[in-house]
Structure 1
Amino acid sequence: MMVIRHGSDVEEDLSSDAPDSPQARNRQTNERNGEEFARFLFERGTLYFNLIYMYANNLIVRYHVKEIGISIYEALRRHPLLAVGIATGMFIITLPFMLFVFFTLATAIMTFTGFVLIEGTLITVASMLLVGVLLCVFSLLAFMGLVFLAGYFGLSRAYDCLDRWNGLGNERYRVSSND
């Protein structure tokens, strides 16, 4: 079967670029729809960003977050050992996660460069380090908790003994003054 064409492919391509051709109208409609969709997304994104920003500011003002932050800052400036202790605690708490992120990034780099054997070794080492660090942190926290509990109960006991001793001294004084 033979197809008879009344024009060449070049003529058809030239006619499709005409402003009133169906392909040109579809292209213009698609571009217009894409622009409208992008504008809609931009307007909605801006609206939601402004709403979240206003809500966060209202919460900050309502709960006096700025004043609380300033008072915490001033208290930490007056007590530098407490600030160092808090910074150390935060570092110890975030250290396992920082190690995990570091090894995850290193694993991704090794994967993309093709070092499959190194990747398995790296995951094993990272897992062992993560578990080791977590065990050390939890052991340290448990030990510190036990030390604080022992100190509290020891000081409490010493305070009770001192209070009894002072009480006996006062009774002797009272008895001797009544004679």
Structure 2
Amino acid sequence: MRRSTYLIALGSNRAGRHGGPRQEVAAALRLLGGIASPIIASAPVGPSTRTFANAAALIESDEAPAALLRRLKAIERAFGRGRGRRWGARVIDLDIVLWLGGRVDTRALCVPHRAFRERAFVLEPASRIAPGWRDPVTGLTIRQLHARLTRRRPAPSSREHCWGP
């Protein structure tokens, strides 16, 4: 396979051998190489109560998506991530969000990542390093997806209530 670009989302909400969540994400960014976003703090999704540290990285690789996924899972294991509860505390989480090669849809991997369009903790750091990258499904850029997700919406007016004018 020829060299291709991937957008990787990183997250941590549990201390590991590198330190707290920010240090775990920073260590994973160093290991992945490429272009890294700033690390941000975000609220947890699901049952976890711990704040996450999140970032994104643009990396170049000769690996096919499935091979890159295997490497990312090996990195997670090396950082101390075990199999556990979905959305639970984790030392590191590494996801392939986008691939310049297009789409992948298998039991093991879906690229673009199925939920990235609804996750500000992915879109915010990604918009810092790849604002013009287009989602192959919607055609929108990462910047546009982030703006749509985070724009302020006006509160409903009293005339919009069900009980009448």
Of Structure 1 and Structure 2, the greater helix share is in 1
What TM-score range do you get, normalising by the shorter chain? under 0.3
Structure of higher RCO (CA pairs closer than 8 Å, 6+ residues apart): 2
Instruction: Give the alignment's TM-score, normalised by structure 2.
Output: 0.19
Larger Cα-atom Rg: 1
